[in-house]
Amino acid sequence: MTPLLQVDAVSKFYGARIGCAEVSFDLYPGEVMGIVGESGSGKSTLLNCLAGHLQPDAGAVRFDTRAGGLRDTITMSEPERRMLGRTDWAFVHQHARDGLRMNVSAGGNVGERLMAVGARHYGEIRNTATDWLGRVEIAADRIDDRPSAFSGGMQQRLQIARNLVTGPRLVFMDEPTGGLDVSVQARLLDLMRGLVREMGLSAIIVTHDLAVVRLLADRLMVMKDGHVVETGLTDQVLDDPQHGYTQLLVSSVLQV
């Protein structure tokens, strides 16, 4: 079976400092990969290298494109990579403000993505946007409000709707529940779990929160100082950690 994403020895350095070093893994359709680590572990650097936001210093990131099979996205032309970002790929930022257009209405934020891939019929676009707002539990009567009038949790849910409306195959998420209240987090995680299953999405989620990976991720990579120290099935890495650092992380989580 062809992997959806083939990450091959991706490295990024900041001068003499290691951002991430020699990271390799294969992601298959329908799999959710969690990347955990503490501040400075290199997880966000890695995610940004994979998503095309940063240029790695070495390695390849091959994606199974619909037309051309496995293609290295790092050596792709800028227009090609941008097209990928509008169709098959999506990126959910930690701060919804980074992933939304704050001066455009909620409906516009979702509809814009449809227009970018060729949708032209206003009525249909509006209907699809309303449908998606419903799926992320935003009331239909908020469709013409700007995201600046939304709560943090609502903004994040809008960001998810905006990202998923084009039916991407791979979603990158950077601390998707960071900064949200606990009850809001729970609701968002539930929503993501449901959507990932319904849409058969693959996702790569960076977080420092082990409970989030336990809930959402099938597989887990643990990073420390730019290196992947352990990888495996999420439940296996959390219940039977092999590496000393993973054991420390897991034992440090407080029980409620």
Partner 1 sequence: MIQVEKLCKSFTLHNQGGAVIPVMQDAEFAVAPGECVGLIGASGAGKSTLMRMLYGNYLAASGHIRIGGVDVARAEPREILALRRDRLGYVSQFLRVVPRVSTLDVVAEPLLRTGCGADSARARAQELLERLNIPRHLWTLSPTTFSGGEQQRVNIARGFAYAYPALLLDEPTASLDAGNREVVLALIEEAKARGAAIVGIFHDEAARHRVCDREVDVTRFTPGLA
Please give the residue ranges that form the binding site for partner 1 (CB under 8 A): 1, 28, 31, 186-187, 190, 193, 197, 215, 218-219, 232-233, 235-236, 239-240, 242-244, 247-248, 251
Q: How far is the CB of 110 from partner 1 (least distance, A)?
A: 24
Q: How far is the CB of 116 from partner 1 (least distance, A)?
A: 32
Task: Give the nearer residue to partner 1 in terms of CB position, either 102 or 253.
Answer: 253
User: What CA–CA distance (Å, rounded) separates 252 from 244?
Assistant: 12
Task: Give the nearer residue to partner 1 in terms of CB position, either 13 or 28.
Answer: 28
DSSP 70-98: EEETTSS-HHHHHHHHHTTEEEE-SSHHH
Pairing of strands 58-65, 5-14: antiparallel
Task: Give the nearer residue to partner 1 in terms of CB position, either 127 or 242.
Answer: 242
User: What CA–CA distance (Å, rounded) separates 84 from 133?
Assistant: 23
Q: How far is the CB of 11 from partner 1 (least distance, A)?
A: 23
- In the block, tokens 């960076």 appear at 206
Task: Give the nearer residue to partner 1 in terms of CB position, either 100 or 220.
Answer: 220
- DSSP summary character for residue 66: T
Task: Give the nearer residue to partner 1 in terms of CB position, either 103 or 251.
Answer: 251
User: What CA–CA distance (Å, rounded) separates 32 from 200?
Assistant: 10
Residue 33 to residues 12, 27, 138, Cα–Cα distance (Å): 20, 8, 27
Q: How far is the CB of 31 from partner 1 (least distance, A)?
A: 6
Task: Give the nearer residue to partner 1 in terms of CB position, either 7 or 143.
Answer: 7
Q: How far is the CB of 28 from partner 1 (least distance, A)?
A: 5
Residue 127 to residues 78, 144, 149, 189, Cα–Cα distance (Å): 32, 13, 22, 25
Q: How far is the CB of 240 from partner 1 (least distance, A)?
A: 4
DSSP 131-162: HHHHHTT--GGGTTS-GGGS-HHHHHHHHHHH
At 28, is the secondary structure helix, strand, or coil?
A: coil
Task: Give the nearer residue to partner 1 in terms of CB position, either 158 or 196.
Answer: 196
Q: How far is the CB of 193 from partner 1 (least distance, A)?
A: 8
